[in-house]
Amino acid sequence: MSSKHDSNSSALNRRRFLRGTGMALALPVFESLMPRTAQAAASLPTVATTATGMPVRTAFIYHPNGVNQKLCHPTGEGKNFELDKTHEPIAAFKDKLQIIANLDQLNATAGSDGNGDHARAPGVWLTGLRIKKSDKDLRANISIDQVMASQIGKLTRIPSLELISDGSRRTGNCDSGYSCEYQYNVSWRSPTTPNPPEHNPRLVFERLFGAEKASDRKTNLAMRQQMRRSILDFVRDDVQLLNGDLGLKDQRKLDEYLESVREVERRIENTERLGHLPDPGVEAPAGMPGDFGDRIDVMLEMIALAFITDSTRVSTLILARDLDDRVFHWLGQTGGHHTTSHYKSGEKKAGVTPEKNLAWLGEIEYWYMERFAKFIRRLEEAKDADGTSVLDNSIIMYGGGISDANSHSHNNLPTLLVGGGGGTLNTRRYVNAKPGRDPLTPPVNHSGDGVIPLEPGIPMCNFFLGLLDKLGVEGVDQFGDSTGRFSDI
């Protein structure tokens, strides 16, 4: 291996990976190695890329079981709003967020299919079409993340990254005759083929940072574990060579990045040493040791590292499946999440009042938002080669397929958008997508309060088409149940 990089193409190749024995460790983009010619600028892709050549990333983070709506909506409107209780953990990023009210997924409603809202909620969230009620014959729609990946994925090593913090199940009936696949997947590559999310942090780590060939990853992992060595030990020589091409600022950036990779590796090693520790009353799948909160944090860090290294520009994460009924005992609660979410009909099951159930539900949502806030801070602190933050060049959607938890409503879905989209988004706003419709009017079914809104909101799929426009994804005139494009984003 040459000790000097004699050409621009060599430098560009080296900025993508550090190589060692059977290893290829993806790297961030460094300012020192960026092409500066007009020809290079003219060759930049037009999709998911800023004017300075930085990647624009998109992630969809799914929250289960609905929300306490009164704690999820700000007061005020437009840019003059005050954050609600649930969103307090991300208050430091108010200038980079949007909360959007009155987006609906009406194909998740019961219709003639009856029960099964906790299958329809995730199944429809990113697809926009009614799913088929069957435990074997799957039918949904390609999901919006895969529409993005069809054009954006060719720019990266991994077209899209699908993760779940809560295990995986591909067979059986999980909700009223619906296949478990609907609950454990939000990403669909075709109407009949879900994109199964990875639930094992170790396998995600190896995919991002291990051997280039999938067939070599297991062997290389076993070798490192036997030798008790870090993945960084195998690329140390290449690190020294790369440092010779970097300016001081990029050398610090490389050091910080390598330390973050090592920290994730340590956390995975620690949970593997702890062994199989299921939450009380909740079966934890094999390969998912350790604390639930730590698993979420590690999965979010995997997305952050994948975005920082431009290994992918499209990702989804299911924080926990719908119907998850784990007890958040570390918050002092005694009722399961799903049971608590039915704050009226679940009163006898949880043994507490509706008011207490609602308070518990708010505490759970706050806890999840704290995990999300750490992820957002990570993206804000990571810098792209042009000096902007990774968060500035990202579109991160946090939400779910159920709004009012007790009534299983699919109107006014909780929708939070964080990031600048590479300068394309109008941030620091609370947006009512359907002016005149009160977002806090709950539906009447399943013991909910109030009345069904007389006027529908805006189809979520209109919003998705607006996101495609922000990313420069072309040729998509209609998606799901869209009736137009919602561009006020």
On whether residue 478 sits in a domain, the answer given is no
Given 272, 287, 302, which residue is the final one in a domain? 287
How many domains does the chain contain in total? 2
Sort strands 80-82 and 75-77 into parallel, antiparallel or unpaired: antiparallel
Tokens matching residue 468: 């495609």
On whether residue 480 sits in a domain, the answer given is no
pLDDT score for 391: 98
Residues 155 and 246 reside in one and the same domain: no
pLDDT score for 135: 87
Nearest one of 394, 307, 322, 316 to 143, comparing CA atoms: 316
Residues 36 and 58 reside in one and the same domain: no
Give the three-state DSSP class for 101: strand
CA torsion 310-206-297-317 (nearest 10°) is: 70
Q: Return the number of other C-beta atoms located less than 10 Å from residue 454's C-beta.
A: 7
Q: What is the pLDDT along the chain (489 residues), one digit of tens a residue?
A: 333 333 333 333 444 678 765 667 888 888 888 765 544 555 667 899 999 999 999 999 999 999 999 999 999 989 999 999 999 999 999 999 999 999 999 999 988 898 999 999 999 999 999 999 998 899 999 999 999 999 999 999 899 999 999 877 766 788 889 999 999 999 999 999 999 999 988 888 888 876 555 566 566 666 666 666 677 887 788 888 888 889 999 999 899 889 888 888 888 777 666 544 333 333 433 345 468 999 999 999 999 999 999 999 999 999 999 999 999 999 999 999 999 998 886 555 555 788 899 999 999 999 999 999 999 999 999 999 999 999 999 999 999 999 998 888 899 999 999 999 999 999 999 999 999 888 887 554 444 433 456 678 999 999 999 999 999 999 999 999 999 999 999
- Residue showing tokens 């020192």: 32
Question: Using an 8 Å Cβ cutoff, are 157 and 214 in contact?
Answer: no
Residues 282 and 366 reside in one and the same domain: no
Angle at the Cα of 249 from the Cα atoms of 244 and 255, rounded to 5 degrees: 70
On whether residue 400 sits in a domain, the answer given is yes
For residue 360, the enclosing domain spans 49-199+292-471
> At a CB cut-off of 8 Å and minimum separation 6, what does 272 contact?
202, 289
Residues 128 and 4 reside in one and the same domain: no
On whether residue 334 sits in a domain, the answer given is yes
- Residue showing tokens 């069957």: 134
d(CA 136, CA 138): 6
d(CA 284, CA 288): 7
By the 10 Å C-beta count (0-12 exposed, 13-18 middle, 19+ buried), 187 is classed as buried
Residues 3 and 84 reside in one and the same domain: no
Residues 167 and 55 reside in one and the same domain: yes
By the 10 Å C-beta count (0-12 exposed, 13-18 middle, 19+ buried), 355 is classed as exposed
Residues 70 and 218 reside in one and the same domain: no
Residues 191 and 64 reside in one and the same domain: yes
pLDDT score for 268: 79
d(CA 485, CA 406): 31
Tokens matching residue 474: 């072309």
Question: Using an 8 Å Cβ cutoff, are 32 and 245 in contact?
Answer: yes
Residues 280 and 297 reside in one and the same domain: no
- Give phi and psi for 61, each to the nearest 5: -110, 120
Q: Which amino acid is at 352?
A: V
pTM equals 0.87
On whether residue 487 sits in a domain, the answer given is no
pLDDT score for 284: 37
On whether residue 403 sits in a domain, the answer given is yes
On whether residue 436 sits in a domain, the answer given is yes
On whether residue 489 sits in a domain, the answer given is no
Question: Using an 8 Å Cβ cutoff, are 70 and 440 in contact?
Answer: yes
Tokens matching residue 263: 């920290």
Residues 57 and 38 reside in one and the same domain: no
Given 242, 270, 287, which residue is the final one in a domain? 287
Residues 276 and 397 reside in one and the same domain: no
pLDDT score for 308: 94
Tokens matching residue 480: 């799901």
Give the three-state DSSP class for 51: coil
